[in-house]
Amino acid sequence: MHVVPLPALADNYIWLLHDDDGQAIVVDPGDADPVEAALHQRNLQLRAILLTHHHHDHIGGVDALLARHHVPVIAPRDERIAKATQRVDDGDIVQMEQPRVRFEVLAVPGHTTTHIAYAGEGILLCGDTLFSMGCGRLFEGTPAQMLASLDRLASLPGNTLVCCAHEYTTANGRFAQTIEPANRALAVRQQEVAALRAHNKPSLPVTLATERATNPFLRTDSDAVIEWGRHHGAGEDRVARFAALRANKDVFRT
């Protein structure tokens, strides 16, 4: 399976998955044009659209794609996604023959209450729940929900490729370094990201093992983050510590 990030809109990635036989799936197409261009350039046949949540920058291209491709639209149980042909929820399996894929659906509320992720084939399609060295804003869910969602994603195998939906990595890394300035893995990752972005290359996908070593939102139980939390009024409570991290990230300016 080939995993291709398609830059779209201001800083989104639409994920294109395809096999060697030209069969493709697209995930969170906020804009149809990059998808159509990639399908044409690679001589691919679109077979399905997968959606993680209802925000327009993730579903805005669905109508235009459906006008040209008669394919299923797999989405969470959320009536705000009007074009869904198959609704899925936690524990459901999305399985296809063309391309041959099998994903487990994971409910990951926090960014929105109905947000889902797709995990399988060594890939995690996580929308706006997990970012490289960051996580999504809490627009609808609670800190406890988001922390539980991130804990769940962090428990997947370390070699899983994390496919986030935004290129936020540079800014996220700068924030992470204010939390764990002595984290050597974080410094190395920042150097790698700087080299990639200097050539306008995506910082994604990234392995989950790298995220567990560098992402403060996955490291709420590390000594450095615990100590940071104590100095920011969180005491010993890990949900309060996560909430403090997210609140500080909300106002962080690089």
Q: Which of 18, 28, 31, 55 is catalytic?
A: 55
Place of tokens 């109905």: 114
Whether 115 is catalytic is no
Q: For 120, phi and psi rounded to 5 degrees?
A: 165, 165
pLDDT at 132 (0 to 100): 98
By three-state DSSP, how is residue 181 classified? coil
The whole-model pTM stands at 0.96
Of 94, 89, 53, 85, which Cα lies nearest the Cα of 66? 85
Q: How many helices (H) and strands (E) does the chain have?
A: 9, 14
Q: What is the distance of C-alpha 190 from the center of its chain?
A: 19
Whether 89 is catalytic is no
74, 84 contact by CB (below 8 A): yes
The third-level CATH classification (topology) of the domain covering 2-213 is: Metallo-beta-lactamase; Chain A (3.60.15)
**Which residue type does 172 have?**
N
pLDDT at 254 (0 to 100): 72
Place of tokens 């409570």: 237
Whether 57 is catalytic is yes
Whether 63 is catalytic is no
Residue 211, token pair as written in the block:
């995220």
Whether 58 is catalytic is yes
Edge-to-edge, what's the strand order for the sheet holding 45-50?
2-8, 12-18, 23-27, 45-50, 73-76, 86-88
Averages of pLDDT over each 10 residues, the chain, 254 residues: 97 98 98 98 98 98 98 98 97 97 98 98 98 98 98 98 98 97 98 98 98 98 96 94 97 88
Query: What residue ranges do the domains of the chain occupy?
Result: 2-213
